[in-house]
Structure 1
């Protein structure tokens, strides 16, 4: 039986992010009796690397791509000398004008990556930039994914337009993610489709039972939890003030945050500023966040913007009451009042609504009942890819 060939390209390491976990879900969803799947990873490291489906053919690593996003020192330590030289060059140039990392990464890719000597029926760029698929891959059809709300992200729109124009199809992870994208780039209307994040309920449930976290999460108070990178989009820097406003209402709770990233110092400074050291607890980087999600009472996503947050879906799979802020794509994230609550974005409004929700056990239990009868895995989304490829 002839099998069609699909290439998936991911421009980073298999780190602890929602996009990486969504990639794992997609790779698990493919029918390996009908398709040969190759995976080109820029970086063959990261805590999720060993979770990649064993049916996948992982193509050889190109050394100079493996530490693109890392520091100058890490590049040198891992033998990425060309990449290190360009990092040093960009550091000097940035003193005089703005430097775009996408252009530098493309420069490294063009010089160090040989064209892939194989024809693919379909090539999927799961994360930007898409230069490798455009310049080094021979494929009948090329798809590029949208994972965020670009109307709020601080991205160069000219570079985005250039990148997505190279693709035959553009796949957004939610209806509203596509809507906000088309508000910026209406010329791509005929290319855009929705392919939602695919998650494995069985995998998430098994992972959630691997160990006990009661030693890290106090059992005698209400436990709120947020998971994500410590960056502007996730808005964790406002959690300490929101928590202080809830605490002022006399509610006994702890707000735990799992993650890592560039905003960690900012978040810690805000925790100190609002005297929330005993209330807002940074648990740090966790390879397996699911036992913590299982142990929490309420999952909170206080983001400034999202495409479609994977962690929210994972919390719903584990039947946890979910509260999210009213970011642009929030309506496509959950059914407000049925399986989650959307609260105001401003800190005072968020605190008031979240405090009311914490005290409303009936609403929480109603959400839990509704989640138990809802499928959040989106396994059938892979059929949309089969349709594009012509099956």
Structure 2
């Protein structure tokens, strides 16, 4: 339960379930992360299984702990993915590597003994629930834009076939998935968010360098990865400052594998006094609250929880035109969509800095909208009830 958008989404789902009706077990590969303490007390967290903890450890650590077969299977998956990624010029071979890791290690992993009425796999890859959990009804959740993910589709088709229901977090996410995996049935259940929780957490006192910064402040909350486009944000800020907008600072809350590359990019563009990586924060909301503008510079998304959270805090929002962007917000109503890429970010940010009335109108419009998605939980209950009806 590390800090992340999908993890926050899972917490919201768990907080909204009716525990008078449902008994819920939560299987985590490793019981760690800042969000672990936020799991509702009604949830029964299953005991860690050593073989599954290896997925959150380095290969040398796995071998040192004598999980030799799993360790060598992961090496095999990594080499196979690197070779294929080089041939296909894949921007993120990690997705394919995850597939192969599961393919090669599945025979060594134990099956969960309990049999369930419903089993939900909340994050891809879904091989654990597909192969190692016994349930009358299996549900797989989609959080990303699958038109951008480079995987072995035939391998995934076999996996998807084991699920009775597939759920996407937005209509655009659903359409993107079906363009890749034709013929499958996918429902939409949007992320459940508690505006009350977001607003309450935004008032908490945290160490926040933004509070003493009188410049125009941009904030992004995102994983430091290729998908989130932080590298494009750095290059865009360089162009904006070089064009005369000196009184500007961009703060990024988040962590990830691209951190050192991004630090180098900041230094190479001489932006150490303008672009700041704040690292992992359990509570990102005070940073959002302190922003003059929230920007999501992503290359692709399913539906970014962070964007909705910024809107809940009545912030003007700018997002890039990634394939599912239109399902994220209404352009010129409760946010702005700019062209995907560095030039689009430059144009969009300049427009919002320069036109204060436009920026204020976007912020005011968010106050008139309900971002709680209270009715979404009922869609999930209907799926549960269909399972019960099918067995009776």
Q: Quote the offset at 1:330 in angstroms.
A: 0.3
SS for the counterpart of 1:35 is coil
Structure 2: distance between partners of 1:155 and 1:91: 14
| 1:215 equivalent in alignment to 2:209 | yes
SS for the counterpart of 2:140 is strand
- Structure 1 residues 132 and 110: CA distance shift in structure 2, 3 A: farther
Q: Which residue of 2 aligns with 1:147?
A: 143
Contact persistence 1:213–1:292 (CA under 8 A)? no
Q: Which residue of 2 aligns with 1:114?
A: 111
Structure 1: distance between partners of 2:288 and 2:36: 22
Q: Which residue of 2 aligns with 1:26?
A: 13
Aligned 1:28-177 pairs, distance under 5 A: 28-75=15-62, 82-90=69-77, 100-118=97-115, 120-177=116-173
Equivalences, count: 375
Picking from 314, 333, 348, the partner of 1:353 is 348
- Structure 1 residues 106 and 92: CA distance shift in structure 2, 3 A: closer
Q: Quote the offset at 1:213 in angstroms.
A: 4.1
Q: Which residue of 2 aligns with 1:292?
A: 287
Contact persistence 1:68–1:105 (CA under 8 A)? no
Structure 2: distance between partners of 1:353 and 1:94: 37
Residues 251-290 of structure 1: CA deviation (Å, up to 9, x unaligned): 2110011111121222222212222111111111212211
- Structure 1 residues 216 and 338: CA distance shift in structure 2, 3 A: closer
Q: Which residue of 1 aligns with 2:195?
A: 201
Structure 1: distance between partners of 2:198 and 2:70: 36
TM-score by length of 2: 0.89
Residues 230-249 of structure 1: CA deviation (Å, up to 9, x unaligned): 11110111112100121133
Residues 27-52 of structure 1: CA deviation (Å, up to 9, x unaligned): 11101111111111112111111111
Q: Aligned-residue CA RMSD in angstroms?
A: 2.1
- Structure 1 residues 78 and 295: CA distance shift in structure 2, 3 A: farther
Aligned 1:224-243 pairs, distance under 5 A: 224-243=218-237
- Structure 1 residues 350 and 158: CA distance shift in structure 2, 3 A: same
Gaps of 5+ in 2: 86-95, 387-392
TM-score by length of 1: 0.89
Contact persistence 2:320–2:344 (CA under 8 A)? no
SS for the counterpart of 1:313 is helix
Residues 168-222 of structure 1: CA deviation (Å, up to 9, x unaligned): 111111110011111112211xx21101111122222222222144435542101
Picking from 14, 17, 24, the partner of 2:4 is 17
Structure 2: distance between partners of 1:75 and 1:349: 44
Greater displacement, 32-41 / 156-165: 156-165
Q: Quote the offset at 1:129 in angstroms.
A: 2.3
Q: Quote the offset at 1:352 in angstroms.
A: 1.6
Residues 345-380 of structure 1: CA deviation (Å, up to 9, x unaligned): 131232022111122221222122211121112122
Structure 2: distance between partners of 1:96 and 1:18: 31
Structure 2: distance between partners of 1:244 and 1:90: 38
Greater displacement, 239-248 / 299-308: 239-248
Q: Which residue of 2 aligns with 1:276?
A: 271
Structure 2: distance between partners of 1:173 and 1:91: 30
Q: Which residue of 2 aligns with 1:377?
A: 372
Q: Which residue of 2 aligns with 1:6?
A: none
Structure 2: distance between partners of 1:154 and 1:135: 22
Contact persistence 1:148–1:308 (CA under 8 A)? yes
Gaps of 5+ in 1: 1-13
SS for the counterpart of 1:179 is helix
